[in-house]
Structure 1
Amino acid sequence: MARHFRKHWKKYTFGSIVFTLGGSYLTRKFRDRNVIREYCEEAKQYGEKGISVLDRPKKVTVFLNPMANKMDAKIQFKKYAGPLFHLSGYDVTVVESEYEGQIRTLMGYIDPECDAIVVAGGDGTIMEVVNGLMRRWDVEKTRTIPIGILPLGRENRFYSRFFSSRLSLSQTRRISEAAMDIIRGATVPIHMLQLEPESGKTLFALSSIHWGVFRDSLQIKDRFKLFGKFRLLMSHVRTVLRGWPGDYSLRLWFPASSRSSSVGTMPPDSQVANSPNSTTSEALNQTAVGRRKIEPTRLVARRTEGWQERQLDVVGLHLCLEESASLEERLKTVVWPADLKKWDFIKQGWSASLGKNVPPVPGTLSVDSSQLVLHPQSGGVSWLNIDGEPYEAMPLSVTVLPSVIRVFTKQS
């Protein structure tokens, strides 16, 4: 036997690999089948409940992005979520988008009597639904329609933040559980970010804003697919090897009542207007020596007093919405200084991608507030990532809108 194996070791090796992969595939299919059967039996119980002849079945409108997750979203919806909705007795209308921005437009025609809106896609699909909903003329009525999230996109930032306990589940169970949340009917109010530019329409977001070299590193991570889980690490390494640290500057205004802190010593060219008695116009006249002047914007001109100002050379900004914090501190802003060391940049970016908390480096500015005005500027064209979607960098007034919409959540 040993002599035969030595003689035909290539065949034995190939056979072992095929047997192992095939067994793993069949095992996964068997487990998925059992998971689907389990959820179908639960959904069937809801569908067998009787209703009055005067009542109608619950109406659900599903906005599906068939191009999400490399055109795999439609297959996953029909395989895992669609059967559960039909078994539960829902009247389901599926709307498939054909181009970017279509869902935002179609949200203007949705029936106000709809019982639920389901987003089947990624962050871009969620953002289109939310902005279309908030721009309706009857928004006070339609925003009460609960929204369900099916994580069918490649990037599901809002779902990952809101349902962080489910990230360890398999894709089959994660999608099925999200569909069952909608069928079970438990909802919770969530907060929202209102982003008002100097010109153009107001934007609405649910998660975060990224700007600077950290954002740029995230955009190029797919160039390093061969490195697997280390592709984000390689994108940060590539960033520090080319064009570091970039030409970014930021002017930031926030209420004096906000909680702000700086680790170590702030750069000597930063300007701060901390006095509650000083007016905003006086604060805006202060400009760091030796830097290009960032002119005050229309967004700041409305502020009269009680606001602080910071002007800094930076490498990046991260702003996120924290649901569990108090209303005055739900807007978490972190600004990294321009003299950030390369190793600290790599460590901060890589650890953040793994979900680890990293102590801030010296010079980092942290602000917890309910609103702020930011004016980003760079040597060339720069971009903001708003809930994962790219927008050209522009002055923005950011405000937290508390408990604006309701989303389906797991039953307690």
Structure 2
Amino acid sequence: MAFVIKFAKGVRNHWKKSTFAACLLAYGAKRLKNKYEIDGIMKVYCEEALTYGKVAITGNTLPRKITVILNPAANKRSSLEDYEKYCSPILNLAGICVDVVHTESEGHAKKLVQELKNTDALIVAGGDGTLSEVVTGLIRRTGENNSKLIPIGVLPLGKSNTVGSALFPGGEHLGNVKSMAEASMAIVREATKPMDVMKIEIINEPDADTIQDGEKGDEVQEKKAVYALAGIEWGAYRDASAKKDKYWYYGPLKKYATYIFNGYKDSLNWKCEALVNYSEPCEGCSNCVTHIEEKNTKWYNRFVRSTAKKEDRSRIINENCQKYEQKQISTADFACLTSNIFAGTANNSPPKLHLNLGPQDVDYFNFLTEGFRSETGQRRQIVETIEARQIELRPNLEKMDTQNAWFSIDKDDFEVKPVKITLLPKVITMFCSSSQTEITNLTSP
């Protein structure tokens, strides 16, 4: 009893030190608890991966080989450490030959994919930007009708993981660790699903990617499109979100600070004015399908696990597919999204683009409210949604400050220009959790 009284007096007489010690102790206890729970999560996944690794293969069969394209600069340069902690052990225990290739600069992932040979799958270890680069490089290499033969995996190691989070939702507590482990295990299980791709082309404008290598003055190549899996954003919320890193000194509150300090600035695009031409969604017809797929004998053909005969829709006539509606828009929040990021999208529904238009005018209070909602994973206010297969977006550049006008295509910045956005339904195959797969290929022992 005397010890308790003496201890209580000590705490009272040295309350500042006692408070600091208590906070330090609580922080340490929380770290130990998290480490214990992470070890438990990894143990479960590693034990499952080991069961795959113990399966014997025949003498004329080679182990699976995958190529991981890792962006070491992703998520404040923590992606490599996260990969080695939460992804690499699972892949190695499963008996998969893993070749890790690091990107060195913006656009390097596209070049790596175009030069890649002899691999069973491509795995993107990074965020939305790296994934978009890999998909762009892959489709440019193989063509829009052949790229569906190549399985792609994503390890959500970036700062923004829109597609990765949709494929591998991790939950609230230790969600990032669960997402990374589940994404790694999906590669081991070989559970896949087809995914839509958004093709974005500049209208009547030269593209920086079209200049040939060599001296200045060479002829311009055919325009090269950019391919995305999530969507394209434009407007005040996009501009504010792009400024987050400027408020790094606010720590975890920086994502809220960007809306507080930018909600009154003219540098944001408060008026996105454009002419939109769009066609209705189509399940596939002679207008959408350029030609019947032919047998492919290239190196990536061995990736195909299913031999199911695909339906030929090149003879189907859909008059509405070739009809375009026209609409003049003015909004503070423009987003054209694929169905990839919406959970629970019906597989039997026609593939479509979702053009979401926010309110035309936003005051400071609503800007804060909607911005905070988006940072907590909720959807911002939508005034109108247009469903389409193809969209021509022609911004009113005469009324805009073009120096401060930017699109975000899968979180990468692109200058605002007239663009044509085309949906390519189920062009690629991606690894996913078993609960989401449409065609699950399990090699479980």
**What TM-score results when the alignment is normalised by the length of structure 2?**
0.75
The equivalent of 1:129 in structure 2 is 134
Aligned to 1:151: 156
User: 1:341 Cα deviation (Å)?
Assistant: 3.7
Quote the residue 2:93 is aligned against: 87
Would you say 1:185 and 2:207 are equivalent positions? no
In structure 2, the residue matched to 1:205 is: 228
* Cα pair distance change 1:167/1:205, threshold 3 Å: farther
Preserved contact between residue 191 and residue 400 of structure 1 (Cα < 8 Å): yes
**Residue matched to 1:51:** 57
Instruction: After TM superposition, give the deviation of residue 335 of structure 1 in Å.
Output: 2.5
Of 71, 96, 103, which aligns to 2:109?
Answer: 103
> Tell me, what secondary structure is at the counterpart of 1:241?
coil
For the residues of structure 1 that align with 2:18 and 2:362, how far apart are their CA atoms?
54
The answer as to 2:240 corresponding to 1:235 is: no
Q: Aligned to 1:350, which of 372, 375, 383?
A: 372
C-alpha distance 22-396 of structure 1, shift in aligned 2 (>3 A) = same
CA contact (8 A) 1:149 1:178 kept: yes
- Find the counterpart in structure 2 of residue 311 from structure 1: 328
Structure-1 separation of matches of 2:351 and 2:147: 28
**Alignment pair present for 1:254 and 2:278:** yes
Give SS of 2:358's match: strand
**Aligned residue in 2 for 1:372:** 391
Matched position secondary structure for 2:263: helix
Match of 2:178 in 1: 173
Runs of 4 or more, structure 1, over 6 Å off, are none
Distance 2:185 2:384 in 1: 42
Matched, 1:61 2:67: yes
Residues 155 and 251 of structure 1, relative CA distance in 2, 3 Å threshold:
same
Which segment is superposed worse, 171-180 or 69-78? 171-180
Aligned residue identity for 1:335:
L
- Counterpart amino acid of residue 377 in structure 2: G
Residues in 2 aligned to 1:167 and 1:150: alpha-carbon distance in whole angstroms:
18
* 1:173-222 deviation digits (Å, cap 9, x = unpaired): 22111101100111000111011112331110000111121211111233
1:233: Cα distance to partner? 3.9
What letter is aligned with 1:336? G
User: In structure 2, which of residues 421, 424, 439 is the aligned counterpart of residue 398 of structure 1?
Assistant: 421
After superposition, the Cα gap between the structure-2 partners of 1:181 and 1:304, relative to the gap in structure 1 and judged at 3 Å, is closer
Pair 1:52–1:68, CA change in 2 (3 A): same
Q: Does 2:120 match 1:115? A: yes
Q: CA distance change for structure 1 residues 98 and 358 in 2, over 3 Å: closer, same or farther?
A: closer
3-state SS of paired residue (1:135): helix
Shift of 1:138: 6.0
The aligned residue for residue 214 of structure 1 is: 237
Q: Which AA in structure 2 matches 1:203?
A: V
Say which SS state the counterpart of residue 149 (structure 2) adopts. coil
Alignment: residue pair count = 364
In structure 2, the residue matched to 1:33 is 39
The whole-number CA distance in structure 2 between the counterparts of 1:355 and 1:157 is: 10
Q: Structure 1 regions of 5+ residues with no counterpart?
A: 260-302
Q: RMSD of the alignment, in Å? A: 2.6
Task: Identify the residue that residue 287 of structure 2 maps to in structure 1.
Answer: none
Structure-2 separation of matches of 1:132 and 1:209: 18
Cα distance in 1, alignment partners of residues 321 and 121 from structure 2: 42
Partner of residue 339, structure 2: 322
Q: Counterparts in 2 of 1:277-316, with a 5 A limit?
A: 306-316=323-333
Indicate how the Cα distance of structure 1 residues 41 and 254 shifts in structure 2: closer, same or farther if over 3 A, else same. same
Q: Is the 8 A contact 2:67 2:121 kept in 1?
A: yes
Task: In structure 2, list runs of 5 or more residues that go unmatched.
Answer: 1-5, 208-223, 283-319, 436-445
Which residue number in structure 2 is paired with residue 334 of structure 1? 356
